[in-house]
Amino acid sequence: MTIFRRPTWKFRLPRRFRRDESGAAAVEFGFVAMPFFALMFAIIETSMSFFTSQILETAVSDASRLLMTGQAQAASMTQQQFKAKVCAPLPAFFDCQNTVQIDVRTYSSYSGSDMSRPIVNGQVNWGGSPVYQPGGPSEIVVVRAVYPMTTYTNFYGISLANTSDGKMLLMASSAFRNEPFTGATP
């Protein structure tokens, strides 16, 4: 009489795969690699935006000093010349002459001044074109500069971009009262 024996290899094969852990690290890394690299790039991009914003803020503050002391008015500085003063200390990755926009306006009071970001429906909108009004002695002046920084990280629809073309608009501003200087007035 023949006894029916089950083939043992059919039962050993799954057990062998359950115990084998030689590729487990590669599979586990495959699960976490994409979120890990997305998080790393997001951290780098966020730190670059803070760095870029700080550089722009410093450049605007330094150039605004020319207006506040009356040096720009005495030299009859134009909007392009003032922009060149803002762009001078900026690093090459800014492409300042083509991308940075600068708006200089004079106001009668601090409460009436506009310090908001000029974004309307995802586009930079100054309500016309950027203005250059350096002001006279003891007038209130607001300098706003915007730089549309390109963003690269988009993690599951979360991005730093705040414009419709996928860029992050960085803004630096300076509000001050001109010194009571003497000389040329605008």
Task: Give 100-135 pLDDT, tens digit per residue.
Answer: 999 999 999 999 998 888 888 888 888 888 999 999
| Least confident piece of the model among 24-28, 76-80, 120-124 | 24-28
Q: Structure pTM? A: 0.78
What is residue 185's predicted lDDT score, i.e. its pLDDT? 47
The mean pLDDT value of the chain amounts to 86
Question: 132, exposed or middle or buried, with CB in 10 Å at 0-12, 13-18, 19+?
Answer: buried
CB contact set of 134 (below 8 Å; sequence gap of 6+): 67, 72, 73, 77, 82, 104, 106, 141, 186
Q: Are 55 and 149 in contact (CB under 8 A)?
A: no
